[in-house]
Structure 1
Amino acid sequence: MDLPRIFTIRESSHRIHNPFTADKLAALGQALRLTPGTSVLDLASGSGEMLCTWARDHGVTGTGVDISTVFTEQARARAAELEVTDRVTFVHSDASGFVSQEPVDLAACVGATWIGGGVDGTVELLNRSLRPGGVMLIGEPYWRQDVPSPHVATACGAGGPDDFLVLPELIEQFGGLGFDVVEIVLADQDSWDRYQAAQWLNLRRWLDDNPGDELAAEVRAELSTDPVRYARYQREHLGWGVFALMAR
């Protein structure tokens, strides 16, 4: 049970595995008005930056769950680095079926709604761990504008135009599921650049060090095409944000 190796190669230097900068992650924590002792469940927690920095800065406690052995070890190392191992725990497991034994104050899936088969299923999954009156965080892509063609959608990494919604429709979707949107923090093009372009240096450094690896041809092909694809399509059309929800 693990992520395919290409994912950990691509994001080997990343502490945040989505288009958020450290400043935006900090802004989200401040916007949520977190208080010491807030209990958090973070599904698909990656390298643990959200839980670890919020434990340091706000005194939250919690558990992160991720399917990647590499990212889980990075999360544990980050917790040790920030001296918050007494507050946060990281579990290597499939987050798609994970429910907290005790209800939590904040349940999050920031950028991995495939664990629930999409937004609807992920909201249902998180709600099973959330205490009444708690806050849910969903990180999700959205179209910055109406997508002109299926080709543009697939070039942005989607299966088609219907994979994502434009921002107002995504917010309406949350309302249709019975939740109020109580905060949003959105990525911008600069933070997208930092997330996406950092992958290219990771890929190039890995390729230079591993020219004979079985993944070398795949990495070379991605590095040759991804910067142009990103600049031509994804940067202009795809947005991303974290949405804080409370049940009505």
Structure 2
Amino acid sequence: MDIPRIHTIRESSHRIHNPIDATKLATLGRALGIGPGATALDLACGTGEMLCTWARDHGVIGTGVDLSSVFIERARARATELGVAVTFQHGDASQYVARERVDLVSCLGATWIGGGLEGTIALLDRSLKPGGLMVIGEPYWLSDPPDEAVAACHLTRKDEFGSLPDLVDRYDELGYDLVEMVLADKDSWDRYAAAQWLNLRRWADANPEDDLVPQVRAESRTAPRDHVRYQREYLGWGAFALMRR
């Protein structure tokens, strides 16, 4: 049980696996006013940077879960590096519910674990204390994509996402108040996407006999063009903090 190898190659240098940089992640942590000893659960945690740095900066304790064994090993190494009291489990985040409810639950950029936004919010809510904070990372359209080709570039349908106001309305309809948000900008999108191009190229050069090389080299050619034509112009992304009404 693991994620496709191409994904770990693509994001091999990333500490944050979304278009939000370390400064924005720290801004969100400060804005939420998290106190020492707050308990947290991060589903689809990647390499654990949010949980580790919030443990270092705010005294959070808790657990991260991810399907990637590669990412989980890196997350554990990061926790050791920072000397923080967080743990990481390799497993299917879509099936994970905390034994005891926590103060903060999160899923950044992986709402597929619950079959979409609504299902993921319902999953996270099962682990959250009353009055706790839920942090969701989710895309939205900055402007209406001109055709399905733009949506297909993001492996989605045109109607799968709405605008930012549409997304805020969905949170409201699901019974949650939006209490904070930090949004990606073009620069943070560039840093996230462009690092992938370098990761892919270096891996392909270092592993010329690997069966995955043709796929990696093909993506190395198309990904930059897709990004500058579609991604940075049409797709937004934000980390949204919610509280159940």
What does 1:184-199 align with in structure 2 at a 5 Å threshold?
184-199=181-196
Aligned to 2:99: 101
For 2:242 and 2:116, the matched residues in 1 are separated by 16
What does 1:61-140 align with in structure 2 at a 5 Å threshold?
61-84=61-84, 87-140=85-138
Q: Cα deviations across residues 27-73 of structure 1 (Å, max 9, x unaligned)?
A: 01011111101100000000000010000000010100000000000
What does 1:161-180 align with in structure 2 at a 5 Å threshold?
161-180=158-177
User: Cα RMSD between the aligned structures?
Assistant: 0.6
For 1:152 and 1:12, the matched residues in 2 are separated by 26
3-state DSSP of counterpart to 1:161: coil
Structure 2 residues without counterparts, runs of 5 or longer: none
| C-alpha deviation, 1:194, in angstroms | 0.3
Q: 1:217 and 2:197 equivalent?
A: no
For 1:183 and 1:94, the matched residues in 2 are separated by 28
TM-score with structure 2 setting the length: 0.99
TM-score with structure 1 setting the length: 0.98
Aligned to 2:150: 152
Aligned to 1:39: 39
For 1:76 and 1:208, the matched residues in 2 are separated by 28
Aligned to 1:12: 12
* Identity score, percent: 65
| C-alpha deviation, 1:149, in angstroms | 1.3
3-state DSSP of counterpart to 1:194: helix
For 1:158 and 1:212, the matched residues in 2 are separated by 28
In the comparison of the two structures, how many residue pairs are matched?
A: 245
| C-alpha deviation, 1:3, in angstroms | 0.6
| C-alpha deviation, 1:158, in angstroms | 3.5
Runs of 4+, deviation exceeding 6 Å: none
Q: Cα deviations across residues 164-220 of structure 1 (Å, max 9, x unaligned)?
A: 111000000000000000000001000000000000000011011001100000000
Structure 1 residues without counterparts, runs of 5 or longer: none
Aligned to 2:235: 238
Q: Cα deviations across residues 96-129 of structure 1 (Å, max 9, x unaligned)?
A: 0100000000010011000000000000000000
